[in-house]
Each structure stands twice: as C-alpha cells, then as structure tokens.
Amino acid sequence: MKLKIAVLAGDGIGPEVINQAVKVCDAVAVKYNHEIKWIPALTGAAAIDAVGEPYPDETHKICMNADAILFGAIGHPKYDNNPSAKVRPEQGLLKMRKKLGLFANVRPTFTFPSLIDNSPLKRERIEGTDLVFLRELTGGIYFGEKGRKDGGETAFDTCTYTRKEVIRLAKKGFELAMTRSKKLCCVDKANVLESSRLWRETVQAMEKEYPEVEVSYEFVDAVAMRLVQWPNSYDVLITENLFGDILTDEASVISGSMGLMPSASVGEKHYLYEPIHGSYPQAAGKNIANPLATILSAAMMFEDAFGLKEEAESIRNVVNKSLAAGVVTEDLSRDKKAYKTSDVGDWLVANL
C-alpha cells in the first residue's frame, strides 16, 4: 500500500517521540511491503517561531492531502504564564481540530500486565481495565462564545452544543460499544447544565436504534471518583469536550504512565493520531521521554486509518515485548536501568 502521512512533530519532546514512531512505522512498512511518504509540517510554538502562526495554512494543506496525520505535542512554557500572549501554541491545536473536522477524540485506557505495579493505584482495582473515552473535540466550552466585559472585570466562556454535534459523537460511541462489550456510559452534568440535558435527551432518543447496547447516564463528578475506584466497571464512555479532557488525564494514571496512552482524533474525512501526553518541556532534548504513546498511536493509525490490522498488531506485540524485557524509559524503569528514548526505538525496530 502507498501511504502518505503528514508528520507534525510540534514542540518539546514532540520531535523526539515522533522520530521513534517514524522509525517503527518505516520498519513495519519494510516488513509488510508498504511505501510510506512522510510529509513534515510545522505546528505549535515551533510554527509561531518560524512563521508567526501555530497552524499555518501550508500545514493545513498538507494535512488535508494526507491519508493520515501523526502528531507529536504542542506547548511551550514561554506562553504558559503569559495570559496576555496574542498567539499561543494551543490555538494551533484547536484550529487544526476545527478546520479538519476532527470531532471525535478516541482515548483508550488499558493496563499492561508487566506494568500493573507502576500504577499508583492498587493492583486489584485496576487489573483488566480496558475502557475507551470518546471525547467530543470541536464543540463545547472550548469553542463557545468567550470574552470579557465590565471593563475586563468579568470573564465568560460558554458551553454550546447542537443536537447534531451530540448525535454524530454518540453514534460513534454506540458503534464502538457494539464492537466491544455493548456497554456505553454517557458522562454529563445534567443535574445542572442545560447543554448536558441536551446530551442526555439526545442519547436517550438514540437508544432504540441500538437495542443491544446497555446505556448508563452518570454525572461527571461521580465518574471522576468511580474511574479510579472501579475502572473495570466501564467500557465505552462518551462525553463533551472539557469533561473528556479532564477525565482522560485522570484515566491515564491507571495505566501507570502518561507516556503510554495513544489517541486518535477523527472526523468524516481526516484521521489524526497523537500521544495523550503533552510537550513535557522539562524533558525536551534530553532523549528521556517515553516514545510508546506515540508508537501505539501509530499502531492505531495502521488499524483504523489504513485498515492494516496485522501491521498494528505487530507494533503492539513488539511494544509488549519491550515492556516485558524491561526496555523502558525512566518513567517506567523504577530502580532498574533506564533506556534512552532512541534506544527504545532502536530496540523495537530490531525486534520487528
């Protein structure tokens, strides 16, 4: 197969982890006889520095024309404590999601048998956890009307959803649930928020189209608690943008390291794959960041964007092998030897 992949390394540890994923994908391509053309493009603080814009039109063009997009991370500390910065790297990410129509953010959380004791949570709580969040990604409070009034003394952000937006996300949730254990949880705050009541009413109306799926409705504050108490009780969860942002960071603790969890952001036409961790600027350039979340995101890309299941499995298998062999970066090595980011990539390539 001929594959054209846009590669947006971004900021911080983005380029280092992306390099490893590219190496692994190239090795998979050799093994299974595919031809990958990588098309690098600028994003984030790196793009602001180069062209004054975190998601330049040129990058958008490249993404529009690619079969899939592999994304590193964006964010730079020089913008974090400067609320008055006019352009911010994060705006690039939001603009990209909106312009490419990536409305569904798929964020799985699972455990690796060899890493169960890396999680700060007790083994008996988390063993066997295998859940997926579908986070709505192009609506809600991230994109609603926002501003200041009263001469800057009052600030507001508005959470807005249309029924159509809820339906298209929920549809993905029901469909995913049908391929798994047929359990769907709709996470909202319908006891307080009108937008949540629209979510709940819309999902309830869709239930009859999926009679086999058992749907539960839970408030986000309760889910935040149950997620770490009984993660095993969940399978597919659907939720709005901000709730999903917060809960998926929380869920990553179950797996033992944020450096492990992959994600996909998908729409009608475009597919983007990225680690759920951020740019981790403290580690940038040190060759210590865990590349596995990005590499596992590439596995999702092979499976979902290209329909290449065996290729995806080969990546997951070799990752499991590296974990079992203790070929891990310092976030996972505990008192044993820590491998460098590039050493982990090299090991995976050699073992593919």
245 lines the binding site for ligand IPM (CB under 6 A)? yes
Return the residues of window 80-119 that contact ligand IPM according to CB under 6 A: 90, 93
Residue with tokens 């031809």: 35
Answer with the entry of Mn ion, ligand IPM, none that 140 interacts with (C-beta below 5 to 8 A by kind): none
Contacting residues for 44 by C-beta, under 8 A, at least 6 apart: 10, 11, 14, 54, 73, 74, 75, 76, 89, 92, 93, 279
Residue with tokens 């189209």: 209
Query: For residue 302, which of 259, 352, 339 has the smallest C-alpha distance?
Result: 352
Task: Give me the sheet containing 183-188, strands edge to edge.
Answer: 35-40, 2-10, 68-73, 271-275, 262-266, 104-110, 130-136, 236-239, 183-188, 214-219
Nearer to ligand IPM, 72 or 256 (CB): 72
**Active-site residue set:** 142, 189, 221, 245, 249
Count each helix (H run) and each strand (E run) in the chain, helices first: 14, 12
The Cα 226–Cα 206 span in angstroms is 25
Answer with the entry of Mn ion, ligand IPM, none that 93 interacts with (C-beta below 5 to 8 A by kind): ligand IPM
| Binding mask of the shown chain, residues 204 to 243, with x at each position contacting ligand IPM by CB under 6 A | ----------------------------------------
Query: For residue 250, which of 109, 128, 118, 127 has the smallest C-alpha distance?
Result: 109
Answer with the entry of ligand IPM, Mn ion, none that 240 interacts with (C-beta below 5 to 8 A by kind): none
The Cα 330–Cα 349 span in angstroms is 20
Return the residues of window 168-227 that contact Mn ion according to CB under 5 A: none
Nearest approach, Cβ of residue 90 and ligand IPM (Å): 4
Nearer to ligand IPM, 304 or 343 (CB): 304
Answer with the entry of ligand IPM, Mn ion, none that 330 interacts with (C-beta below 5 to 8 A by kind): none
| Binding mask of the shown chain, residues 233 to 272, with x at each position contacting Mn ion by CB under 5 A | ------------x---------------------------
Residue with tokens 């969890």: 261
Nearer to ligand IPM, 90 or 303 (CB): 90
| Binding mask of the shown chain, residues 64 to 83, with x at each position contacting ligand IPM by CB under 6 A | -----------x--------
Nearest approach, Cβ of residue 55 and Mn ion (Å): 17
Amino acid making up residue 101: G
Q: Please, what's the b/e burial string for 315-347 (b: 16 or more CB within 10 A of its CB; e: otherwise)?
A: bbebbeebbeeebbbbbbeeeeebbbbebbbbb
Shortest Cβ contact with ligand IPM: which residue? 90
Answer with the entry of Mn ion, ligand IPM, none that 188 interacts with (C-beta below 5 to 8 A by kind): none
The Cα 25–Cα 35 span in angstroms is 10
Answer with the entry of Mn ion, ligand IPM, none that 90 interacts with (C-beta below 5 to 8 A by kind): ligand IPM
The Cα 227–Cα 254 span in angstroms is 9
The contact set with ligand IPM (CB under 6 A) reads: 75, 90, 93, 245
Query: Which positions touch Mn ion (CB under 5 A)?
Result: 245
